[in-house]
């Protein structure tokens, strides 16, 4: 590659990162993904290798050996760091080259860029800062659902061939459950479309609350909890720049008030880390937590299995949606009443993107 072409590639990489809000912690991995091998993943157009050090701490480097450019994720982990799978250069968690096999002197340029990365509540976060804030300005978000001991949880990672904001749209509008998820968490479509809904927002968050009193519990709910009949059902969605938190569930009709933060019944607390891979592809890190009353492990297994089925269905819809958007081009789309939360989230993203 010529010098001019290299410079152009760097400019393109730098400018493409501005497609996303910076000065944010984004989800890079779920804690249990980092085991005995390095993990390569592109995040906000940046190829990154993630790994654990010998003492269990997480680390993140640019996924490129400074010698001959092989991805470091193709290498192996050792006690002192990650070793390149081409000529064996060994790098520590700060990107410093510790060893070149067969060569005593280590060139000062033998290093790779390191990223700020933190693990909190079994979620691995990576900082993407602007030129003004290359260092983190805050700690990554806590998610006590994973660490409080009140819930059992499981989760996984999806790759989407679609822009990340289409996933935001989907999660902020749960009216689609009655049409897309009939076999799992859906229920009566008319009740979903007519649910009482309130939307609140500020400069960085959106909160959507939907109540569906005296409705029939969907299959996932009845499979996991001994409801007596119809239920009073809730959906509470919190949008943050890099993730969403969704608390759904139900109680038997006319038992606990849906406004009571300590209400009982069946709970599903979802964490949804939505991280752009590129402008047109995304990573979706999810966990689902629940509060079993009987046979905890079997109930958790059912909830995780059913949740995965719903996400499989969502993935088909969102990727088909994006393909059709590309097919038809910049055709206008009509907003309806259920789009309020998603539209506010898009406005927040747009404002932050321009201010980064």
For 96-153, write each residue's pLDDT tens digit: 999 999 999 999 999 999 999 999 999 999 999 999 999 999 999 999 999 999 999 9
Domain boundary among 71, 93, 128: 128
Q: What's the token pair of residue 13?
A: 């990489």
Mean pLDDT per 10-residue interval, the chain, length 356 residues: 36 54 97 97 98 96 98 97 97 98 96 98 97 95 96 96 95 68 54 73 95 88 89 94 96 93 93 97 97 89 89 92 93 84 93 81
Core vs surface per residue 264-277: b (16+ CB within 10 A) or e: ebbbbbbbbbbbbb
Expressed as residue numbers, the domain containing 156 is 149-355
Domain boundary among 78, 98, 128: 128
What per-residue confidence (pLDDT) applies to 186?
52
What per-residue confidence (pLDDT) applies to 4?
37
Q: Are 178 and 224 contained in the same domain?
A: yes
Q: Are 87 and 199 contained in the same domain?
A: no
Number of domains the chain is built from: 2
Domain boundary among 94, 128, 162: 128
What per-residue confidence (pLDDT) applies to 24?
97
What per-residue confidence (pLDDT) applies to 108?
95
- The backbone torsions φ and ψ at residue 154, rounded to the nearest 5 degrees and listed phi first, read -150, 175
Helix (H, G, I), strand (E, B) or coil at 92: coil
Cα 264 → chain centroid: 27
Residues 6+ apart with CB under 8 A from 76: 37, 38, 82, 83, 85
What per-residue confidence (pLDDT) applies to 177?
57
Count helices and strands in the chain by DSSP H and E runs:
7, 17
What per-residue confidence (pLDDT) applies to 178?
56
Look up tokens 């998820």; give the residue: 181
Q: What's the token pair of residue 353?
A: 């993107």
CATH of the domain at 163: 3.90.380.10
Decide if 141 is inside a domain.
no
Q: Are 79 and 176 contained in the same domain?
A: no
Residues 6+ apart with CB under 8 A from 102: none
Burial of 250 from C-beta contacts in 10 A (0-12 / 13-18 / 19+): buried
The alpha carbon dihedral of 262, 294, 286, 347 has a sign of: negative
Decide if 166 is inside a domain.
yes
Q: Are 235 and 338 contained in the same domain?
A: yes
Instruction: Report d(CA 356, CA 354) in Å as an integer.
Output: 6
pTM for this structure? 0.89
What per-residue confidence (pLDDT) applies to 18?
61
Decide if 134 is inside a domain.
no
Q: Are 266 and 349 contained in the same domain?
A: yes
Residue of 38, 90, 32 whose CA lies nearest to 66: 90
Q: What's the token pair of residue 26?
A: 């984004």
């Amino acid at each position: 590659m010529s010098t001019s072409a290299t410079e152009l590639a760097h400019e393109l990489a730098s400018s493409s990162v501005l497609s996303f809000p910076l000065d944010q912690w984004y989800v890079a991995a779920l804690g249990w993904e980092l085991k005995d091998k390095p993990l390569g993943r592109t995040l906000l157009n940046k190829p990154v290798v993630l790994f654990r050090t010998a003492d269990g701490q997480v680390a993140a480097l640019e996924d490129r050996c400074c010698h001959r450019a092989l991805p470091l994720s193709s290498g192996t982990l050792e006690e002192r760091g990650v070793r390149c799978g081409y000529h064996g250069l060994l790098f520590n968690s700060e990107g410093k080259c510790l060893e070149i096999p067969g060569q005593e002197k280590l060139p000062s340029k033998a290093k790779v860029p390191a990223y700020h990365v933190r693990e909190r509540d079994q979620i691995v976060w990576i900082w993407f800062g602007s030129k003004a804030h290359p260092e983190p300005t805050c700690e990554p978000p806590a998610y006590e659902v994973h660490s409080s001991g009140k819930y059992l949880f499981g989760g996984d990672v999806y790759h989407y061939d679609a822009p990340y904001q289409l996933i935001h749209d989907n999660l902020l509008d749960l009216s689609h459950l009655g049409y897309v998820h009939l076999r799992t968490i859906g229920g009566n479509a008319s009740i979903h479309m007519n649910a009482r809904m309130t939307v609140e927002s500020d400069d960085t968050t959106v909160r959507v609350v939907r109540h569906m009193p005296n409705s029939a519990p969907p299959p996932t709910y009845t499979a996991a909890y001994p409801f007596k009949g119809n239920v009073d059902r809730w959906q509470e969605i919190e949008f943050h720049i890099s993730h969403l938190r969704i608390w759904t569930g139900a109680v038997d009709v006319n038992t606990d008030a849906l406004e009571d933060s300590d209400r009982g019944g069946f709970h599903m607390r979802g964490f949804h880390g939505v991280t752009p891979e590129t402008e047109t592809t995304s990573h979706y890190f999810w966990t689902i937590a629940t509060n079993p009353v009987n046979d905890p492990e079997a109930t958790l297994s059912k909830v995780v299995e059913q949740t995965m089925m719903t996400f499989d269905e969502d993935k088909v819809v969102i990727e088909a949606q994006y393909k059709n958007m590309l097919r038809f081009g910049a055709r206008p789309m009509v907003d309806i009443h259920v789009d309020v939360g998603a539209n506010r989230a898009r406005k927040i993203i747009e404002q932050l993107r321009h201010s980064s």
